[in-house]
Amino acid sequence: MSSPASHHDIDRLAAAVRDQRTPAGFAALWRAIFALESWYLLPTGTPDDPRPMLGLVEERSYLLVFTSERHLRSFANDRSAVRANDGVAAMTISPASLADLVPGLVEQGITGVLFDQGHNDVAAPLAALGMLYDVTHP
């Protein structure tokens, strides 16, 4: 049995896909991303009503998802979303749970998911998220 993917595997696979965009490279990257137990979201809004942070790519809204707490912290720190000596708040969600939320996210006008913004910048359209989950979880 192989060990679960780590953010280091994902970083390596994302770099390989950037260097050479092959179907096998993308398949390995998506398997690693979807093998994670949970993904991290940066909350916005209020403590009583937290909402996951969205980003804009070519005028379209994307849900910002991070494959590790390290990537989430780096993103937050780079954008001064945290004060010195404060921790970074995080929300977590399983890949299956996010795939289940796709219809509601589409209704809200969200186009896709952007993984590890500022580091790996791997994007997937929301319409493909369920299929990617199903293919990586036979």
Report the distance separating Cα 98 and Cα 88, nearest Å: 21
Q: What is the pLDDT of residue 48?
A: 87
Residue 77 lies in a domain: yes
Candidate from 6-10, 45-49, 102-106, 116-120 with smallest mean pLDDT: 6-10
Predicted pLDDT at 86: 58
Domain assignment of residue 66, yes or no: yes
Give 70's contacts (C-beta < 8 A, 6+ positions apart): 7
User: Do the domain assignments include residue 2?
Assistant: no
pTM: 0.86
CATH of the domain at 76: 3.40.1350.90
Q: How far is CA 97 from CA 34, 103, 129, in A?
A: 11, 12, 11
For 30, how many CA atoms within 13 A lie in the half-sphere containing its CB?
A: 20
